Structure 1
């Protein structure tokens, strides 16, 4: 049995038998240290501190004997070796930590003891040994540290704060970090002050209290500059860049990343350089600048390979796969994810293996290899099963639901959605229970009882609502079964009605979620005409804007509109946008004389996503020298068995498969092609239409231009 199981469960060990007695009270381990040897040590330490107190005030600088250079060097050597092993093979790192812990006297070297304990907990967790990881967490949190020297005391409190943060016990972590900060300030220990301020900043950032988070990290940055410690400078500035990005201060965050990289170069620290370039790549990825992100990830990969940081290499490969997916190269994304998976297998990172399996499945989905998608989902769920309380566990349900929808199995998709919602409800209840535990450790007893009662009431209410919803759902399913048995045709009619509702809901999604800035921008443009006193133009564009809004209201509850109505809407929209952009936006609509637009029906707003993307994202791009002026050409032609509804992309780039996205609330990006194909599939399956989507090129005056085409068959 490994040494920690011996300690935690009271078995005999040569080193700890005389020192530890573990008692279990309310499932919390309490360590009683009561030997004569320890009492003598405490007496000697008390005498030493009394002498120091008589001759001079106790400050951090005057207690440097506690941090003697040989001990610091040896500790750092051991921690670096353990950390290096954790990037290559986690079981090896675990065995090394256990061996080193067995050699340590907790009274002589408590800092190394606690840091190795924390790393051991990390190793247990990543190899899915969750019982042992939880035992170590309880042991660390229960250990009484007030009897240690203030320098040790503050560092141990910081270790406890980090552990509470990793376990999502935010309030407890705040309390521990603040206690460490007070002790560090009292004993003039700037290194621990900076670390405590950084932890508090990360905590409040996690709780979305950004102003308070920035206040703490700014104090940490100022203190690190005052002490002129480049390592602390790097860590605090890297942390500040993340918080600035969270507060949408993009330029300031980018400046911090540049400064952090420059510091890492001055320190000649490859690890810091690797992390800085990787963070910069994440920054560009979040800003949708995928080319620059890829460049930074490549640089970070080279640096990580030079230090053989295998698990970090896997993280970089995962982000490279994400970039490849955004650029539409799903086969390359699969390749990168498989490389990351192999590294994580060798390192025995069980949870991260599950993540890699899900990433592979997500990429293969876009290659339409649905059986392979289900295979990799199953593999991912096997790896994630021990971590079933983690939100990432439900990624498998979401992917299965997407596959079911793609295969037209809507019933299975519904049940998968229901199951994932039950898991989310369970996670919500667990979060509430965690909040109750936090309240118990942070508030006075009277206030705690009041808040605990309120929280337990909320949990009970959620359970009652869940039971009621479950009963209601069972009742509805019973009614559906009775309807299906009583009349097959009635069931078919009921199913078709619901599917028509899905089609209308899909249509309303586009209508309701039109770019929220459009109306504001349109009215602003018309307002500028009023300021210029261009009365005729103002009246004309108000009429155009009014007609367009009438079209939107007119089609909001319709499954089909005439092609004439659809073209009128597009024309009105482009005229309003022409008012905004002037000669930067050019368009032309050519209609075959043989077409009677009023007699041809089409789903409403079929080409709207592509037109919106062309206007909002492509119009103001720099003009490429030697090429024709960018414009949109809409052509409608009648053929023997279908009507062609074609949009030709003349040097704008909106027809690109990889980049055509429309933006919606919360920064969400929706692929124009995916959205359009899903709508056409619904119409073809439910309304038995014959809509075909085509992406190709056409030669005009000896120049080849890309286009998208909708074929409306009779």
Structure 2
């Protein structure tokens, strides 16, 4: 009997702990789900706190399942993505994607693919973004999930819109539109229609863009989304400017302003649009009033590019109004903002390069760790394994060498950017523009401001690219020469000759090839000539080589100009040669600097020749 009671007692104890463990597991799951829901409202406003909560979940529950771990990684990736931390988002979603694939959770795997594609696109990794987007489209098709299909099509639209392939972009966004229309998702349908209109605008089909915007306006009246309506009204206003129907443009901009006042919203776009319309109609007082209203809002938002654009207009308008004091005030403010914007842009480029380098560094560190583990694990393995390991080491060495070369190329790009945008050139050009402004030539000053701004944008855009078209290179160097002509009061002319066998739209070249030598020709040769200066640029194609010749009739190079290095700073010519060496095609051997002399052995200019291989 005693043993019987003992056995029953043990059974009850076992049953109690079993039920307790089941209850604890259930509580854990409930707490886990509740914590995950909490992060939805925190991820935008408090990303660091959200990450801490997600990390603590994994530490708190020792028996967390693989499914829960995958959801944690997915959520962390989303937090990083909405807060513009794209590298971290990619890393977390790659882990989540692996776990979802292992669990055959195709729905969540497709969601990870969509964010991976979007993050890589923001990270300017276009090829990887396309790879993920196409896989997401394939998976969404197999799942027959309309919402995922719409998102995948919308991603492919963004990708092709970025690549300026507007025909394919329109095809994908129209597929997404049909899905959202079928699902009766009005908010998403409005966003889709705005994207469609944006494509039509890029294709210069303004009437179709207007029609789509008006459809959006009609559709938006059925939902309570005033801020969306404001955006549509602004878009319609700017489109009417494109088709030169200014009265309608004013009507829609004023409607946007009234709606903003009703919802206590602050939006500079309609004021900017009105300023531009009145500027085009020569109503300078109203233009100044509206531009100033837009400027106040852009200052609150700390939007430097928009402030600079508005100040450019205000400078021109105040000169037209014969108010030089205000014009100088706006010019001084604009110059300060331009310098600040250049500093920010340089820091952004350097930060972008650093992030990429750190990503590669982490990847190499991980590969090295895996390699070391394999070596320790299979220390007494077979000869075949040793041979495999040696081959892997060789591959890692080649990879590291390639990375060092890429890092060197990145450093050369930064050096090239510093040489291109040297402060003397910038401030001298700005001073020249200021002089023209003070001479009461507003249109001329405005044109040169636009040309100079375009030159700066081209420099920042092209320095990041490995190759650009020959047409882009020619446009940029022409813009640079014309800026220099203005600076030196047209004391020299230039002739650019392109051989008929050169298709400038298809031929690809490294960016900023010609600028260092054009600058040298002007600064060391043509600068001292007060008249009859001539700069010649000849481009020809011989087989698979592109031949360049830069020639000037200046005073010839001084001894100082013939030195590659000056005060320990890398000279633009040496940077150019290093860039050619990185291409590993022996193109640097074709580079020559030829000093030109007349019959009396007096210097009459300089000629630069070099060749590069093209595909």
Q: Calculate the TM-score normalised by the size of structure 2.
A: 0.52
Matched, 1:358 2:272: yes
Aligned twin of 1:573: none
* 1:48 Cα offset (Å): 4.1
Aligned twin of 2:289: 375
CA distance in 2, matches of 1:164, 1:454: 30
Q: Which residue, out of 224, 244, 247, partners 2:160?
A: 244
Structure 1 residues 126-145: aligned runs within 5 Å = 136-145=46-55
* 1:368 Cα offset (Å): 2.5
Aligned twin of 2:313: 399
SS in 1 for 2:221: helix
Residues 368 and 142 (structure 1), Cα distance of their counterparts in 2 relative to 1, 3 Å cut: farther
* 1:205 Cα offset (Å): 2.5
Aligned twin of 2:228: 312
Q: Which residue, out of 240, 244, 249, partners 1:324?
A: 240
Runs of 4 or more off by more than 6 Å in structure 1?
445-448, 453-468, 494-506, 556-559
Structure 1 contact 169–434 (Cα < 8 Å) conserved: no
1:546-576 deviation digits (Å, cap 9, x = unpaired):
xxxxxxxxxx9799xxxxxxxxxxxxxxxxx
Structure 1 residues 528-567: aligned runs within 5 Å = none
Matched, 1:387 2:301: yes
Aligned twin of 1:296: 212
1:631-680 deviation digits (Å, cap 9, x = unpaired):
xxxxxxxxxxxxxxxxxxxxxxxxxxxxxxxxxxxxxxxxxxxxxxxxxx
Aligned twin of 1:109: 34
Q: Which residue, out of 86, 101, 126, partners 1:210?
A: 126
* 1:307 Cα offset (Å): 1.6
CA distance in 2, matches of 1:154, 1:304: 38
Structure 2 contact 154–176 (Cα < 8 Å) conserved: yes
* 1:236 Cα offset (Å): 1.2
Structure 1 contact 175–442 (Cα < 8 Å) conserved: no
Aligned twin of 1:426: 343
1:410-468 deviation digits (Å, cap 9, x = unpaired):
756753542232131232244257447746974547989x99x9999999999999999
Structure 1 contact 364–370 (Cα < 8 Å) conserved: yes
Q: Which residue, out of 105, 111, 128, partners 1:195?
A: 111
Structure 2 contact 320–442 (Cα < 8 Å) conserved: no
CA distance in 2, matches of 1:193, 1:438: 26
* 1:225 Cα offset (Å): 0.6
* 1:47 Cα offset (Å): 7.3
Q: CA RMSD in A?
A: 5.2
Q: How many residues get paired?
A: 392
Structure 1 contact 401–417 (Cα < 8 Å) conserved: no
Structure 1 residues 646-665: aligned runs within 5 Å = none
Residues 343 and 505 (structure 1), Cα distance of their counterparts in 2 relative to 1, 3 Å cut: closer
Structure 1 contact 384–393 (Cα < 8 Å) conserved: yes
CA distance in 2, matches of 1:214, 1:262: 22
Aligned twin of 1:227: 143
CA distance in 1, matches of 2:433, 2:165: 53
Matched, 1:178 2:103: no
Aligned twin of 1:415: 332
CA distance in 2, matches of 1:454, 1:404: 48
CA distance in 2, matches of 1:212, 1:164: 19
SS in 2 for 1:109: helix
Aligned twin of 1:333: 249
Residues 455 and 442 (structure 1), Cα distance of their counterparts in 2 relative to 1, 3 Å cut: same
Residues 143 and 392 (structure 1), Cα distance of their counterparts in 2 relative to 1, 3 Å cut: farther
SS in 2 for 1:308: coil
* 1:291 Cα offset (Å): 0.9
Aligned twin of 1:98: none
Gaps of at least 5 residues in structure 1 are 1-39, 50-64, 67-104, 122-135, 482-490, 510-515, 518-555, 560-714
Residues 463 and 328 (structure 1), Cα distance of their counterparts in 2 relative to 1, 3 Å cut: closer
Aligned twin of 1:671: none
SS in 2 for 1:343: helix
Residues 309 and 437 (structure 1), Cα distance of their counterparts in 2 relative to 1, 3 Å cut: farther
* 1:403 Cα offset (Å): 2.6
Matched, 1:257 2:173: yes
Structure 2 contact 304–341 (Cα < 8 Å) conserved: no
Structure 1 contact 365–373 (Cα < 8 Å) conserved: yes
Aligned twin of 2:423: 469
CA distance in 2, matches of 1:364, 1:495: 24
Structure 1 contact 404–412 (Cα < 8 Å) conserved: no
* 1:280 Cα offset (Å): 1.8
1:7-39 deviation digits (Å, cap 9, x = unpaired):
xxxxxxxxxxxxxxxxxxxxxxxxxxxxxxxxx
Structure 1 contact 394–423 (Cα < 8 Å) conserved: no
1:107-145 deviation digits (Å, cap 9, x = unpaired):
4423432222245x3xxxxxxxxxxxxxx1332344443
CA distance in 2, matches of 1:205, 1:446: 20
CA distance in 1, matches of 2:141, 2:264: 40
Aligned twin of 1:674: none
* 1:185 Cα offset (Å): 2.1
Aligned twin of 1:274: 190
CA distance in 2, matches of 1:334, 1:247: 33
Structure 1 contact 197–216 (Cα < 8 Å) conserved: yes
Larger mean CA deviation between 162-171 and 298-307 belongs to: 162-171
RCO greater where, 1 or 2, for CA within 8 Å and sep 6 or more?
1
CA distance in 2, matches of 1:503, 1:47: 73
Structure 2 contact 126–159 (Cα < 8 Å) conserved: yes
Structure 2 contact 193–216 (Cα < 8 Å) conserved: yes
CA distance in 2, matches of 1:339, 1:495: 38
Residues 393 and 466 (structure 1), Cα distance of their counterparts in 2 relative to 1, 3 Å cut: farther
